[in-house]
């Protein structure tokens, strides 16, 4: 008689670690991670701790253990870094909006430069390339031209702010020090007036309620304001009274828009957008180029630093007026139109149809006829342009955080433009993509970090890449 084979029990792996959960230890912080957490080691075991700075000796309590690394919370700072400063924001320790306010601004800029350099070396295996000092802001506060604020309810009315780190708990705020003051005022007025009329907030647990998000936009150069109310359904109670009072209370308001999002999702916008009052667009300028901004347009949130970033891209493109340029991931045409000021012709491609319509509108707005925009995937459209004879002297890429599609990078190598200008919002994917371009016969000449988001760990870069292999005719 055959015996049934018993299943082996799988046991939870036990790691031989030098620490235990909730254990109190002391260690010295060696560096910051790409997330802004302090990095320390205890008997060779790597530990990540929020809110600490390089060089500090700290006491911590272990909160989470993994085989190769763990996490801890700060108990006490034994030896403090000279770069530590008191965060000016009263809700800084609770809010997840920015995480480096305790770090001196000059030290933040050097951390970001070093972060880019480390990624190039570690991921891209690229060494010896100049990574210039990060271009910072003279006043690194009140720089954001857009706020996206989730709305909730407490006794006494509506609340709105940012989520606490790694939660969906809304931290109510009166003022955010990285937002333009007009954004603060718009959000406060919506909370006050909507509370007055009893308009309920959306509650994601039951998928009931009305007001999900308040989105505000400010034209830094023009002073024009847009307010977007994201609602859970078409119905907006007391709509006329709400709109009338908002218009009376907020000077400079040019547009009030309703966006309808009925999905159970963390995505802010739904598919339906309608103007409740005023115009469909507000306007702003970057340098001498004017842009129309709709409720759902992507537009860089720090216009002061955007001008510096795009000016660097234009410098690296080294245009004389005779070049054809391709702008992959062109969005609403911000970089394309900057380049068109000096190029013979710019071809922009973008996968989002609405963005291409905005790009064409912005070209008309500026009277620029030496631009062509097309909807599609860059890795599909650009090879077709190449076959049609649209040869690019310069290719500019400004991809999302995931970096360039591999097929696009292969296309660039095949097209052999003399220069590639890479605008990046993620040093890790920048380094990965530069490695592929270098393997395809290109050389990274220099990289310029730009601080688009002071007091956060994010850093933008502009990299110049040139052909290093030129075939003799």
Contact 436, 87 (CB under 8 A): no
Q: Pairing relation of β-strands 460-467 and 419-424?
A: antiparallel
Helix (H) or strand (E) holding 35: none
The residue whose two tokens read 């007091």 is 455
User: Is residue 425 flagged as an active site residue?
Assistant: yes
Residues whose CB is less than 8 angstroms from the CB of residue 10 and which lie 6 or more positions away in sequence, other chains included: none
Q: Which residues make beta-bridge pairs with 275?
A: 257
Which one is catalytic: 98, 330, 404, 425? 425
- DSSP state string for 69-115: EEEEEEEEEEE--TTB---S-TTTTTB-S-S-TTB-HHHHHHHHHHH
- Count CB atoms within 10 A of the CB of residue 167: 9
CA distances from 234 to 209, 210, 274 (A): 12, 9, 10
Other beta carbons within 10 angstroms of residue 114's beta carbon come to 16
Helical segments of 159-271, H only: 181-196, 239-249
383 strand-pairing partners: none
Annotated catalytic residues are 425
């Amino acid at each position: 008689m055959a015996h049934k084979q018993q299943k082996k029990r799988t046991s939870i792996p036990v790691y031989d670690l030098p620490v235990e959960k909730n254990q109190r230890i002391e260690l010295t912080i060696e560096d910051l991670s790409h997330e802004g957490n302090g990095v320390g080691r205890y008997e060779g075991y790597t530990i990540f701790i929020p809110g600490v700075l390089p060089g500090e000796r700290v006491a911590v309590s272990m909160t989470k253990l993994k085989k190769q690394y763990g996490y801890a919370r700060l108990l006490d700072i034994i030896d403090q870094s000279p770069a530590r400063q008191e965060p000016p924001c009263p809700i800084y320790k609770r809010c997840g909006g920015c995480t480096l306010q305790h770090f001196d601004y000059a030290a933040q800029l050097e951390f970001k430069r070093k972060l880019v350099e480390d990624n190039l070396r570690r991921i891209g295996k690229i060494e010896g390339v100049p990574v210039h000092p990060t271009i910072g802001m003279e006043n690194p506060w009140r720089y954001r031209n857009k706020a996206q604020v989730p709305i909730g309810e407490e006794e006494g009315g509506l609340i709105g702010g940012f989520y606490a780190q790694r939660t969906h708990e809304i931290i109510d705020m009166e003022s955010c020090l990285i937002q333009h003051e007009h954004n603060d005022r718009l959000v406060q007025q919506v909370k006050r007036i909507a509370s007055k009329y009893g308009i309920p907030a959306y509650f994601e647990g039951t998928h009931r309620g009305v007001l999900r998000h308040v989105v505000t936009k400010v034209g830094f150069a023009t002073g024009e304001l847009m307010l977007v109310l994201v609602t859970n359904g078409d119905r907006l109670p007391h709509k006329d009274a709400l709109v009338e009072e908002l218009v009376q209370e907020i000077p400079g308001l040019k547009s009030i828009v309703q966006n309808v999002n009925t999905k159970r999702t963390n995505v802010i916008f739904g598919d339906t957008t309608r103007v409740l009052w005023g115009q469909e667009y507000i306007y702003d300028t970057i340098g001498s180029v004017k842009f129309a901004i709709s409720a759902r347009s992507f537009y860089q949130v720090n216009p002061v630093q955007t001008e510096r970033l795009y000016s660097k891209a234009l410098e690296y493109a080294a245009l004389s007026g005779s070049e054809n340029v391709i702008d992959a991931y062109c969005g609403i045409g911000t970089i394309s139109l900057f380049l068109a000021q000096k190029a013979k012709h710019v071809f922009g491609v973008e996968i989002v149809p609405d963005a291409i319509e905005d790009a064409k509108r912005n070209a008309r707005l500026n009277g620029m006829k030496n631009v062509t925009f097309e909807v599609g995937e860059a890795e599909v459209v650009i090879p077709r342009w190449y076959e049609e004879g649209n040869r690019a002297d310069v290719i500019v890429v400004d991809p999302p955080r995931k970096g360039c599609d591999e097929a696009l990078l292969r296309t660039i190598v095949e097209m052999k433009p003399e220069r590639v200008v890479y605008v990046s919002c993620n040093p890790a994917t920048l380094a990965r993509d530069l490695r592929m371009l270098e393997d395809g016969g290109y050389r990274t000449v220099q990289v310029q970090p730009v601080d688009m988001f002071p007091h956060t760990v994010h850093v933008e870069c502009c990299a110049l890449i040139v052909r290093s292999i030129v075939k003799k005719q």
